[in-house]
Amino acid sequence: MLNQPLDIIFPEVPNDIDINELDIDNLPTHVSIIMDGNGRWAKLRGKKRLFGHNAGRNSLREVVRCSSDLGIKYLSCYSFSTENWARPKEEVAGLMELFAKSILAEMDELHKNNVKIKIVGDISRFPQKTQDAFNKAVEMMKNNTGIVLMPAVNYGSRDEILRAVGAYAKDHSEQPSEEEFSKYLYTDNIPDPDLLIRTSGEMRISNYLLWQIAYSELYVTDTLWPDFDRYEYLKALIAYQKRNRRYGGV
């Protein structure tokens, strides 16, 4: 169910999009995004990579707001992978700083919009300040009933699966069912993504939600993450609704 009228959510639809193609009764329950292309976006402007990460924050704010207005229940977003530690020290430190700063700055607005936060990944390796910001936001919004925003941070799917295998084996000796095993993943209780969007044109998964995206619809756009706005999002949603999800059936 929409939380805002469609013409408020999308006030200036560009000519190349037909908003009537959007079926508001058939929106995805869970949208997941690999937010990629910040570095290239900055480079095109002769700036440092962190300039791009900073700009990416606006895209995320817009997509969260738009998703919440559309009544989408879950939004997960790949923000820092277990492999991203390999980046230059300055970039990693800048990202940690940016996470802390943006969470604290956006928290009240998110709370007002009834957003709930669930962290996907292990933030215990993050600087204390960044961990504190995440934990503060989770705690503040824990009783909210609106969209569940799931930042994937220090997240890697293989790491997640290995942790789950280890934890499961401690509790049981027999082979789990898919459903039992899923309970040991970070995404316990969260339905699998219906739609997975990747920006910046890369045709790969980069160790993201390997288990959970078994039957997700994939949408890749060349648009770089800082340029991804509500209308790019609308295009992805319309494309998703044209897919025929068969789940192996006919």
Active site residues: 36, 84
CB closer to Mg ion out of 36 and 217? 36
Closest separation between CB of residue 43 and Mg ion, Å?
11
From the list ligand IPE, Mg ion, none, which binds 38 (C-beta under 5 to 8 Å, kind-based)? Answer: ligand IPE
Q: Which residues contact 152 (CB under 8 A, 6 or more apart)?
A: 76, 77, 78, 79, 80, 81, 120, 121, 208, 209
Taking alpha carbons only, the member of 39, 60, 61 closest to residue 51 is 39
CB closer to ligand IPE out of 101 and 111? 101
Closest separation between CB of residue 88 and ligand IPE, Å?
11
C-alpha to C-alpha distance for 173 and 112, rounded to whole angstroms: 45
**Residue written as tokens 């989770």?**
138
CB closer to ligand IPE out of 77 and 147? 77
Using DSSP, state whether 195 is helix, strand or coil.
Answer: strand
What is the contact surface with Mg ion in residues (CB under 5 A)? 36
C-alpha to C-alpha distance for 149 and 116, rounded to whole angstroms: 6
- Residue, CB closest to ligand IPE: 39
Closest separation between CB of residue 188 and ligand IPE, Å?
21
From the list Mg ion, ligand IPE, none, which binds 60 (C-beta under 5 to 8 Å, kind-based)? Answer: none
Closest separation between CB of residue 41 and ligand IPE, Å?
7
Count the helix, strand and coil residues of the chain and give each as a percent rounded to the nearest 5.
45, 15, 40
What is the contact surface with ligand IPE in residues (CB under 6 A)? 34-40, 49, 78-81, 84, 95, 200, 202, 204, 206
CB closer to Mg ion out of 36 and 192? 36
